[in-house]
């Protein structure tokens, strides 16, 4: 065990979900070590504790796992549970932390960001409830990283993380665990696997795109193994360090192979994709005239909430639902009908943790292709796919029928997010400052046939611990309920990304058939005008539309 002198790196500030930087930044000597020691120090030390370690398998994952287990040993941890091969999907890490009651865990992932030597890497700490550390802990980690002078590490050979079983580094026990087993067992407790098995046996079909990321081994074992889906149901199911040079973000812009397979007359009944660390999901049905039916994440959350009692785990009903502020209000309409509370939180899964722990919410979701429940404390991609499969199997309906019936009952919330990426940080900040500066004067103003009812900068007071988070996004609400939300992404690694979230509610089923971007056209024009996107950024069109 040795102590190494070091100096702080500026900028080790966790964003929306942990510290995300270029691989080359993490490869600098002491960079990862400083951050890991800062985690341990912010927690008051880890002597005698058990930690979970694993990641999404991206480039630099294996090296980082070795560093962390040697540092855990040198910091006096009693035990480290590490996923074989250094692999643990984000929801599986949450599951393992909860199941074995560990002190917490370190999850290595930059989620949906591209990987490889020139790609991104990331690290975050999850607390004993299995969820991402709340802001008070991430701020303490950052503070420690800015004053750090040394770290502790074992001078040991690399540990064999590919063989299941246990051994030691010094007096620290290292246990290499099957990364899929605990997670698969939990899913079997939640869903009606017999009904889903019968659905596949009857010839129904699914295409699950693992995007060469970490969901592959989980999807192969659960869908093709336990549920009997035919081999080939899972595509791109082998995790690769650079995700096959793809962008492992399950949305229509990047999951192009899935969208192509879901087009045309021979499309499978159901399609889904998951991201780098398997916590996100995109779900797709077979649409009309060969067009895939892309289900917006906000709609998916609302549909799961409305039908939750068809799933064994939620048969007794939901305690409440929660969504991030920019997520559409479709789930709020369901909550009203069910007579349960709907919570609106800032962007970031960490904000759902207290609500789930307190039993105030059962289902949570975000527009950024994330859905989950109180079974773990992370969003869970494969869980959402199994939930949909359970609904398809139990109702005997098609995806399109379920979606149409939902809209007929609750109305349709047209929704889209326009991203403007790669903006110089000072230009993006100037845009947001200017927008914030005029919020007080906006009510009553008209724009492209819409009249502004209210405008504010979202602030959130956590109903459980009273902590306050300010400046969480500018919202402009129009008469009739349409909304535009503006905020800057907290997960990028290059410049700034402006996210513009657009929502329009149409109650009458006669108006449910428009293409989304057409239905939102007046809001899109209003967004450009109100924020001066072109003047501030030079961009007249978004770089990504989801
Ligand atoms: C993370 C967070 C999500 C958030 C998403 C996008 O997801 O956990 O809560 O919605 O980032 O955040 P932003 O808009 O700030 O880029 P993931 O899947 O990247 O871990």
Decide which of 392, 410, 428 is a domain's last residue: 410
Q: Which of 121, 282, 348, 423, when mutated, tests ligand 1's pocket best, judged by the most ligand atoms within 8 Å of its CB?
A: 348
The tally of domains found in the chain comes to 3
Q: Kindly give the number of the ligand 1 atom that is closest to the alpha carbon of 348.
A: 9
The answer on 104 and 140 residing in a single domain is yes
Distance CA 195, CA 186 (A): 17
**Residue 378 Cβ < 6 Å to ligand 1:** no
- Dmax over Cα atoms in the chain, in whole Å? 70
- Which atom in ligand 1 lies closest to the alpha carbon of residue 499? 14
Are 261 and 384 within one domain? yes
**CATH assignment of the domain containing 395:** 3.40.120.10
Give the end of a domain, one of 160, 178, 196.
178
Does residue 105's CB lie within 6 angstroms of at least one atom of ligand 1?
no
Among 163, 178, 193, the domain boundary falls at: 178
CA of 136 to the centre of ligand 1 (A): 18
Same domain, 252 and 235: yes
Ligand 1 atom nearest to CA at 276:
18
Domain that includes residue 524, residue range: 412-545
CA of 446 to the centre of ligand 1 (A): 32
416 lines ligand 1 (CB under 6 A): no
- CA dist., res. 234 & res. 237, Å (int): 6
Same domain, 403 and 282: yes
Compute the half-sphere exposure of residue 14: CA atoms within 13 Å on the CB side of its CA: 30
In a shared domain, residues 392 and 357: yes
Distance 19 CA to ligand 1 centre (A): 12
Q: Which residues pair with 26 in a beta bridge?
A: none
- 17 and 72 co-located in one domain: yes
* Whether 190 and 150 share a structural domain: no
Which residue's C-alpha comes closest to atom 17 of ligand 1? 111
- State whether the beta carbon of 489 lies less than 6 angstroms from ligand 1: yes
| Per-position pLDDT tens, the chain of length 546 | 999 999 999 999 999 889 999 999 999 999 999 999 999 999 999 999 999 999 999 999 999 999 999 999 999 999 999 999 999 999 999 999 999 999 999 999 999 999 999 999 999 999 999 999 999 999 999 999 999 999 999 999 999 999 999 999 999 999 999 999 999 999 999 999 999 999 999 999 999 999 999 999 999 999 999 999 999 999 999 999 999 999 999 999 899 999 999 998 889 999 999 999 999 999 999 987 778 999 999 999 999 999 999 999 999 999 999 999 999 999 999 999 999 999 999 999 999 999 999 999 999 999 999 999 999 999 999 999 999 999 999 999 999 999 999 999 999 999 999 999 999 999 999 999 999 999 999 999 998 989 999 999 999 999 999 999 999 999 999 999 999 999 999 988 889 999 999 999 999 999 999 999 999 999 999 999 999 999 999 999 999 999
pLDDT at 491 (0 to 100)? 87
The candidate with the shortest Cα–Cα distance to 249, out of 115, 122, 113, 56, is 113
List active site positions. 111
- Residue 272, beta-bridge partner list: 208, 283
Q: Are residues 173 and 201 in the same domain?
A: no
Pocket of ligand 1 contains residue 368 by CB under 6 Å: yes
State the Cα–Cα distance between residues 422 and 217, nearest whole angstrom. Answer: 33
Ligand 1 atom nearest 279 alpha carbon: 18
Supply the pLDDT for residue 415.
98
Does ligand 1 have an atom closer than 6 angstroms to the CB of 349?
Answer: yes
- How many whole angstroms from 372 Cα to the centroid of ligand 1? 14
pLDDT attached to residue 318: 98
Write the residue with the smallest CA distance to atom 4 of ligand 1: 348
Q: Separation of 196 CA from ligand 1 center, angstroms? A: 30
User: What is the chain's Cα-based Rg?
Assistant: 23
Statement to judge: residues 237 and 301 lie in one domain: yes
490 lines ligand 1 (CB under 6 A): yes
Q: How many CB atoms lie within 10 A of CB 118?
A: 11
Is the C-beta atom of 247 inside 6 A of ligand 1?
no
Q: Say how many Å lie between the CA of residue 426 and the centre of ligand 1.
A: 22
Q: Residues near 280 by Cβ (< 8 Å), separated by ≥ 6?
A: 111, 112, 249, 250, 274, 368, 369, 370, 379, 381
pLDDT at 508: 95
Gap from CA of 124 to ligand 1 centroid (Å): 13
- Domain identity same for 32 and 160: yes
Do residues 330 and 423 both lie within one domain? no
Within 10 angstroms of residue 171's Cβ, the number of other Cβ atoms is 10
Nearest residue by C-alpha to atom 14 in ligand 1 = 489
Q: Which residues contact 203 (CB under 8 A, 6 or more apart)?
A: none
Ligand 1 pocket residue status of 152, Cβ below 6 Å: no
Which CATH number fits the domain that encloses residue 493?
Answer: 3.30.310.50
Residues 431 and 365 in one domain: no
Ligand 1 centroid–CA 368 distance in Å is: 7
Residue 261 Cβ < 6 Å to ligand 1: no
251 within ligand 1 shell (Cβ under 6 A): no
């Amino acid at each position: 065990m040795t102590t190494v002198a070091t100096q702080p790196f500026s900028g080790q500030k966790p964003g929306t979900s942990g510290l995300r930087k270029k691989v080359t930044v993490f490869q600098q000597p002491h960079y990862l070590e400083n951050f890991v020691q800062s985690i341990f120090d912010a927690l008051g030390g880890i002597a005698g504790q058990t930690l979970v370690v694993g990641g999404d398998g991206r480039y630099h994952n294996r090296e980082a796992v070795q560093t962390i287990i040697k540092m855990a040993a040198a910091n006096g941890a009693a035990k480290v549970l590490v996923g074989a091969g250094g692999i643990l999907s984000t929801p599986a890490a949450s599951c393992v932390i909860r199941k074995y009651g560990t002190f917490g865990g370190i999850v290595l992932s930059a989620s949906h960001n591209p990987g490889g030597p020139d790609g991104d890497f990331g690290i975050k700490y999850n607390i004993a409830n299995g969820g991402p550390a709340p802001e008070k802990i991430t701020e303490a980690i950052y503070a420690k990283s800015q004053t750090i002078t040394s770290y502790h590490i074992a001078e040991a050979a690399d540990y064999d993380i590919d063989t299941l079983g246990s051994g030691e580094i010094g007096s620290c026990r290292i246990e290499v665990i099957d990364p899929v087993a605990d997670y698969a067992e939990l899913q079997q407790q939640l869903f009606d696997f017999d009904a889903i098995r019968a659905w596949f046996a009857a010839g129904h079909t699914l295409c699950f795109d693992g995007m060469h990321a970490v969901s592959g081994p989980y999807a192969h074992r659960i869908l093709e193994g336990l549920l009997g889906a035919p081999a080939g149901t899972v595509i791109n199911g082998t995790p690769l360090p650079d995700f096959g040079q793809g962008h492992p973000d399950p949305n229509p812009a990047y999951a192009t192979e899935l969208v192509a397979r879901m087009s045309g007359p021979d499309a499978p009944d159901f399609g889904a994709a998951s991201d780098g660390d398997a916590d996100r999901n995109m779900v797709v049905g077979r649409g009309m005239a060969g067009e895939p039916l892309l289900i917006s994440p906000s709609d998916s959350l609302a549909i799961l909430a409305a039908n939750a009692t068809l799933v064994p785990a939620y048969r007794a009903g939901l305690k409440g639902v929660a969504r991030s502020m920019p997520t559409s209000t479709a789930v709020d309409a369901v909550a009203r009908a069910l007579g349960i509370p709907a919570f609106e939180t800032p962007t970031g899964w960490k904000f759902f943790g207290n609500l789930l722990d307190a039993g105030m919410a059962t289902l949570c979701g975000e527009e950024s292709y994330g859905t989950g429940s109180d079974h773990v404390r992370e969003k869970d991609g494969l869980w959402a796919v199994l939930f949909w499969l359970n609904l398809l199997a139990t109702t005997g309906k098609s995806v399109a029928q379920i979606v149409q019936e939902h809209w007929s009952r609750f109305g349709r919330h047209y929704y889209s997010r326009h991203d403007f990426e790669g903006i110089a940080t000072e230009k993006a900040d100037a845009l947001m400052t200017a927008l914030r500066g005029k919020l007080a004067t906006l009510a009553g103003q008209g724009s492209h046939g819409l009249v502004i009812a209210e405008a504010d900068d979202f602030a959130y007071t956590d109903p459980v611990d009273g902590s306050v988070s300010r400046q969480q996004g500018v919202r402009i609400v129009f008469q009739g309920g349409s909304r535009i939300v503006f905020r800057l992404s907290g997960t990028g690694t290059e410049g700034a990304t402006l996210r513009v979230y657009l929502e329009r509610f149409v109650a009458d089923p006669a108006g449910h058939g428009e293409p989304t971007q057409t239905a939102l056209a007046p809001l899109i024009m209003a967004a450009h005008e109100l924020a001066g996107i072109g003047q501030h950024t030079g961009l007249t069109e978004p770089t990504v539309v989801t």
